[in-house]
Amino acid sequence: MAIEARNITKRFGDYVALDDVTISVPDGSLTALLGPSGSGKSTLLRVIAGLEAPDAGDVRIGREDVTAKPARSRGVGFVFQHYAAFKHMTVADNVAFGLAVRKRPKAERKAKVSELLELVGLSHLGERYPPQLSGGQRQRMALARALAVEPQVLLLDEPFGALDARVREELRRWLRRLHDDVHVTTIFVTHDQEEAMEISEQIVVVNEGRIEQSASPGEIYDKPASRFVMSFVGPVTKVAGTLVRPHDIQILTEAHEATQEAVVTRLWWLGFEVRVELLPAEGEALYAQLSRTEADALALSEGQIVHVRVDPTRGPQREPATP
């Protein structure tokens, strides 16, 4: 089901968490709400779920206006950052909860629970209690629990935020594959641009209660709509007062058109990537990212004088005209 939130405003006292926000999520897609903490992205997700009532605006799921409906009748599956596991119930009972409150027959519950535990790879842990599971396992249980009621949309609030880096990466890929199998419209909130880029088809960048840009990951990266988006979704450095991506800086051994002289102040060999800190004759220090091959070809060393410019073939990735 497609999701639409129109002109949503939400205040907490004097604090404006969402300021006239409109987003539209196509049916069957996987969309990321990306922004720094306190940007309002979680509030927006909670408004869509019905866990928070907006002060203005409306929410539609499919063709239905659900603004006045309570969370329980919106048909949403919600996954919390800290799992929200029902600690006094077994894993199987956690997953069966939605069916139990709907008074579904026992046989149906059992079949559904074993199907879902299979899907999330927890079949052997059905009789355990949540405190006996690892963080990653708990979050997969929470996903199975949300999917058990066959929600029309799946909403994930920083689902991997509390996990360590490796489990996080693993679960990300797993979520992506799961989405390819299950095809339920999904929105997930994250402050990690890499996570957003890796698994979503659409990214909505949120900042200070407003939408900065809403586009595909490639477009967000290559054609950022604002300075904020540009610096939030990837690395940036300043050349003559303009923001550019450090991998778009060209380093040449001889002077060319539009180059300026700079001295190499530091070099970092980070495996495949080589990072070069440069101090131009005029202006602030900047840094460039080169591939190992490029760096080797230039035979760079600290203290060397080089000539730098922004790669003329990569024009569109520069800072947008609007602030």
Partner 1 sequence: MSRIALRSIAIGYLAALLVVPVGMVFYRAFEKGFATAWDAVTTPPAQHAFYLTCMIALVAVPANALFGVTTAWVLARHDFRGRRVLDVLIDLPFAVSPVIVGLALVLVWGRDGWFGMTGVIFSAPGMILATIFISLPFVVREVLPVLEEEGTDQEEAASTLGARGWQTFWRITLPTIRWGLTYGVVLSTARAIGEFGAVAVVSGKISGRTETLTLFVEDRFQSLDLTGAYAAGVVLALLGVSVLTLMTLLQRRHQRSR
Q: Which residues bind partner 1 (CB under 8 A)?
A: 49-51, 70-74, 76-78, 80, 82-88, 97-98, 100-102, 131, 142, 145-146, 148-149
Q: Who contacts 241 (Cβ-Cβ below 8 Å, separation ≥6)?
A: 283
> Least distance from C-beta 113 to partner 1, angstroms?
13
In the complex, least distance from residue 109 CB atom to partner 1, rounded to whole angstroms: 13
Residue 150 vs 261, nearer CB to partner 1: 150
- What residues form DSSP beta bridges with 261? 307
Handedness of CA 33, 200, 188, 84 (dihedral sign): negative
Phi first, then psi: what are they for 189, rounded to 5°?
Answer: -95, 135
CB atoms within 10 A of CB 121: 12
Closer CB to partner 1, 95 or 233, in the complex: 95
145 versus 245: smaller Cβ distance to partner 1: 145
CB of 143 to partner 1, least distance (A): 12
Residues 185, 164: Cα–Cα separation, whole Å:
26
The residue (of 51 and 120) whose beta carbon lies closer to partner 1 is: 51
How many angstroms separate the CA atoms of 20 and 11, rounded? 11
The least CB distance from residue 1 to partner 1, in Å, is 15
Closest CB to partner 1 among residues 127, 302: 127
Q: Which two tokens stand for residue 260?
A: 């300026």
- Give the shortest CB-12-to-partner 1 separation in angstroms: 11
Taking the alpha carbons of 176, 178, 184, 189 in that order, is the dihedral positive or negative? negative
Give the nearer residue to partner 1 in terms of CB position, either 11 or 307: 11
Closest CB to partner 1 among residues 131, 323: 131
Q: CB–CB of 62/152 below 8 Å? A: yes
Least distance CB 147 / partner 1 (angstroms): 11
Q: SS3 for 268-290, per residue?
A: EEECCEEEEEEEECCCCCEEEEE
Could you tell me the smallest distance in angstroms from the CB atom of residue 230 to partner 1? 35
**Cβ density class 198-211: b for 16+ within 10 Å, e for less:** ebbebbbbbbebbb
The one-character DSSP state at 225 is S
**Least spacing, CB of residue 61 vs partner 1, in Å:** 13
Instruction: Return contacts of 23-27, CB within 8 angstroms, 24+ apart.
Output: 23/204, 23/211, 23/214, 24/214, 25/185, 25/187, 25/202, 26/2, 26/185, 26/202, 27/1, 27/2, 27/185
Nearer to partner 1, 148 or 290 (CB): 148
